[in-house]
Amino acid sequence: MAELASLVQRLEVAVSRLESVSGSGGSAGESAAVSVYVEAFDEIIQGPVAQYVSLSQKIGGDVQKHVCYRSHDQHLFLVFPAVFTSLLQPMSKIIQQVQSFREQNRTSALFNHLSAVSESVPGLGWVAMAPKPGPYVRDMQDAAMFYTNRVLKEYKEKDKTHVDWVKAYLSIWTDLQSYIKQHHTTGLSWSKSGPVASASAAPAGGCPPPPPMPPPPSMDISQSSGGGGGGAADNRNALFASINKGGDITKGLRHVSDDKKTHKNPNLRGQAPVPAGPKPYCPPAPRPTATAASTLPPVLELDGKKWKVENHEGAENLVISETELKQVVYAFKCNKSTLQVKGKLNSITLDNCKKMGLVFDHVVGIVEIINCKDVKIQVMGKVPTISINKTDGCHVYLSSDSLKCEIISAKSSEMNVLVPGKDGEFTELPVPEQFKTVWDGSKLVTTVTEIA
């Protein structure tokens, strides 16, 4: 709150400076241009942003705590180029706080709301994305829609407030894209005469990088390049003087006597000849390989309500047996390992795992597979939802009690679901990866494309 109050105070000072400039010393045309895109930005703040904040407060809980759209910072970006660099770092800090809040509340009942905001909040860095800030904002909106669709699915028939919240939040990014297209198509308008904002300055993942190194100084052959005063210049002058001698240039060559000529002295022929021409190619000696970076120690521990399973390599007997309904399991960077989870718990997440096997009894929430490769999941009891996202190679073995499980996939490939039969044998069925979309005159209709 103290930081927000400070930024509000800075905004008031900035606005007063803008008013004084536009009223006295500033150009009338320039002030009008500034006011146009500032007023257009205010319409977004007073429209979808205000509605989103109001609905977030109405929903309450973690969603209300997560609201942190920093319109004050954006105002300063638009009005005063001089504060651009100084405001990138606080903006980056806010984005990191939003994302950290989501990670710290993975067991929240409003986790999909938090994820929608967390995945798209880097879009606030559009002010530093040149020359294409509009497409960057669109990508952030697409990242949010994966989770907003979950919110709509969960609350569509239960609570209209959450549906309105989704519409208000997505409309922020939609209106922002239109605003950028109209006023800042290739970057902030003042960047044409002030400092140019580049993509490398975007604060999406951390503090803005340092400015690029200045270009090397141009070489001046008229000056000495050595430390001996005019020695280098004298050598060049001597070289040019020798070239200008013409035919007299050979007068300085030393005469070779007959006793040193091989065709007149047979004794010299038995000695090793002086090699002529370029040396034969010899492959360079292999460089010593750099030592492998130190790997993090494996972890299997209960931290509060979260079971952490991290950095395991080739561990085939990882077991979590003492579980409770409120607990979650989070497996991160485990390779060629197998994890068995007994009992009933809230959720399980596999993140950045390769050739990983997971066997569990009961999950009352969701099983998420994110950024994984070649993983196998076996359900022994019940699970309502399995989410597969950005994963290549995933086999899901369902039990007879989990046949009503919903499998949600996005940006994934090589997915197969194995369904048990009456004789206990599994039938393997591929999850569609290719779709066909057509316009039927009123809406888009998407169907699965069957590949023989």
Residue 101 contacts by C-beta under 8 Å, 6 or more apart in sequence? Answer: 62, 65, 66, 114, 118
Distance from C-alpha of 253 to C-alpha of 258, rounded to nearest angstrom: 16
Rounded CA-CA distance 357/371 in Å is 15
| Residue in the block written with tokens 């319109």 | 71
Residue spans in the chain of domains classed CATH 1.25.40.330? 36-184
What is the reported pLDDT for 366? Answer: 94
Helix (H) or strand (E) holding 7: helix 2-20
CATH 2.160.20.70 domain range(s) in the chain: 299-448
Please state, in angstroms and as integers, the Cα–Cα distance from residue 207 to each residue in 93, 95, 200, 211, 257, following that order.
8, 10, 11, 12, 75
The phi, psi pair for 317, rounded to 5°, reads -130, 40
| Spacing of C-alpha 341 from chain mean position | 31
Per-residue model confidence (pLDDT) at position 299 = 93
Q: What kind of architecture, by CATH, is found in domain 36-184?
A: Alpha Horseshoe (1.25)
pLDDT at 168: 87
Q: In this structure, is the dihedral angle defined by the CA atoms of residues 35, 84, 25 and 182, taken in order, positive or negative?
A: negative
Residue type, 149: N
From the list 117, 105, 147, 106, the residue with the least C-alpha distance to 387 is 147
Looking at 2.160.20.70, 1.10.357.10, 3.30.70.3460, 1.20.1250.20, the CATH number of the domain 299-448 comes to 2.160.20.70
Q: What is the pLDDT along the chain (452 residues), one digit of tens a residue?
A: 445 455 445 555 555 555 454 444 444 554 555 567 677 777 777 787 788 888 888 888 887 776 654 444 555 455 445 455 555 677 777 778 888 888 888 888 888 888 888 888 887 777 777 778 888 888 888 888 888 888 888 888 888 889 998 888 888 888 888 888 887 777 766 544 444 444 344 444 433 444 444 444 444 444 444 444 456 666 667 766 666 666 666 666 777 777 777 777 777 666 655 555 555 656 666 665 554 445 789 999 999 999 999 999 999 889 999 899 999 999 999 999 999 999 999 999 999 999 999 999 999 999 999 999 999 999 999 999 999 999 999 999 999 999 999 999 999 999 999 999 888 889 999 999 888 999 999 999 999 886 53
Q: What are phi and psi of 430, to 5 degrees?
A: -80, 145
Give the pLDDT of residue 352: 95
* Structure tokens given for 78: 């638009």
SS3 25: helix
Q: Residue 3 has what pLDDT?
A: 52
> Which of 376, 337, 333 lies closest to 351, judged by CA?
333
pTM exceeds 0.75 for this model: no
